[in-house]
Amino acid sequence: MKFLEAEFVQGFIRMANDGWEQGWHERNGGNLSYRVKPEEVEYVKEELAAGQWQPIGTTVPGLAGEYFLVTGSGKFFRNVIIKPEDSICMIELDENGEQYRIVWGLINGGRPTSELPSHLMNHEVKKLASGGSHRVIYHAHTTNLIALTFVLPLEDEVFTRELWEMATECPVVFPSGIGVVPWMVPGGRDIAVATSELMKQYDVAVWAHHGIFVSGEDFDVTFGLAHTVEKAAEILVKMLSMQSTKRQTITPAQFRDLAVDFKVILPERFLYEK
Ligand code: 13P
Ligand code: ZN
């Protein structure tokens, strides 16, 4: 079995390319990771060759011994579909969750994304919170959502409520809401800790003046979540460009009616009176 033909690798490549086609990945912007299933590792194991152990930059004991497919640092999403073996890699974590080693890919050198601490800490949190069903973490430079971080207060309640109001599907797609991380230096442990703390209750986090982080069970659901949030952000940007106030919108009472029919729990703290 050729590594690149495996279904999980094909799904990863397709998602990276879908993000590129949306315009969310200028240059090397954004990164993607997938927690590989044991049977998928088994499927490709004859093509794996272990490199040197390297420090992760944080500790993720809850992911000890697991394998991940990740984009490379400085690699362009544009190139993932064209030269995947140069743009992405599979890594294995050690038995303490402190080090990783490349077992496939990045054939011309390099290392996993600089946001590996954020990806792995988010995977650790979501694996626990979802009972193991969440496997994908995605970071993208979503244009409209970034634009909103310059005009909306950087508060979970405001981002959640304003985006919910932009499309009726939003509270159904992200009922637990959106967390907001204030501007922080990317690529390190501090932003990883702040984001993974929010991911205990949300599947979406916004990085102010930077982008989005989302978590999901598979490539479709995770990409669909980012797409839905960014679409709502685009509508809000358009609305605010026409006028600063809404003539009409979805009311808290209407959100409560929707929650009953669609069987979702919408936390009351997002349904405040304005
Ligand atoms: P990498 O190229 O290291 O993945 O960084 C891109 C990025 O978006 C950092 O936040
Ligand atoms: Zn980024």
CATH code: domain of residue 67: 3.40.225.10
Over residues 31-46, the pLDDT tens digits come to 999 999 999 999 999 9
Q: Which two tokens stand for residue 4?
A: 């690149």
Indicate the residue among 114, 135, 169 that finishes a domain: 114
Indicate if 108 and 201 belong to the same structural domain: no
Closest by alpha carbon to 51, among 8, 107, 120, 13? 107
Indicate if 151 and 263 belong to the same structural domain: yes
Mean pLDDT of 104-116: 98
Indicate if 152 and 253 belong to the same structural domain: yes
Give the count of domains, the chain.
2
Give a yes or no: residue 129 inside a domain.
no
Indicate if 165 and 257 belong to the same structural domain: yes
Give a yes or no: residue 230 inside a domain.
yes
What atom of ligand 1 comes closest to residue 141's alpha carbon? 8
Indicate if 8 and 86 belong to the same structural domain: yes
Ligand 1 pocket check for 188: Cβ under 6 Å: no
Indicate if 109 and 159 belong to the same structural domain: no
Mean pLDDT of 72-97: 98
Give a yes or no: residue 78 inside a domain.
yes
Q: How far is CA 213 from CA 13, 40, 270, in A?
A: 18, 25, 20
Other beta carbons less than 10 A from residue 145's beta carbon:
28
Give a yes or no: residue 212 inside a domain.
yes
pLDDT score for 198:
98
Give a yes or no: residue 173 inside a domain.
yes
At residue 238 the predicted structure's pLDDT band, cuts being 50, 70 and 90, is: very high
Told to judge if 165 belongs to the known catalytic residues of this protein, a careful annotator would answer no
Instruction: Give 86 Cα–ligand 1 centroid separation in angstroms.
Output: 16
Indicate if 165 and 103 belong to the same structural domain: no
Mean pLDDT of 110-117: 98
Instruction: Give 124 Cα–ligand 2 centroid separation in angstroms.
Output: 20
pLDDT score for 3:
97
Give a yes or no: residue 132 inside a domain.
no
- 66 backbone dihedrals φ, ψ, rounded to 5°: -85, 160
Range of the domain at 174: 143-274
Indicate if 165 and 260 belong to the same structural domain: yes
Euclidean distance between CA atoms 151 and 75, whole angstroms: 31
Indicate if 104 and 151 belong to the same structural domain: no
Nearest CA residue ID for atom 4, ligand 1: 113
Give a yes or no: residue 119 inside a domain.
no
Indicate if 100 and 174 belong to the same structural domain: no
CB proximity list for 222: less than 8 A, separation 6 or greater: 15, 136, 137, 138, 214, 215, 216
Distance between first and last Cα of the chain = 58
Ligand 1 pocket check for 186: Cβ under 6 Å: yes
Indicate if 153 and 255 belong to the same structural domain: yes
For residue 58, is pLDDT > 70?
yes
For residue 1, is pLDDT > 80?
no
Q: Is 138 within 8 Å of 219 (Cβ atoms)?
A: no
Give a yes or no: residue 25 inside a domain.
yes
Indicate if 148 and 81 belong to the same structural domain: no
How distant is the alpha carbon of residue 211 from its chain centre?
Answer: 10
Euclidean distance between CA atoms 75 and 77, whole angstroms: 7
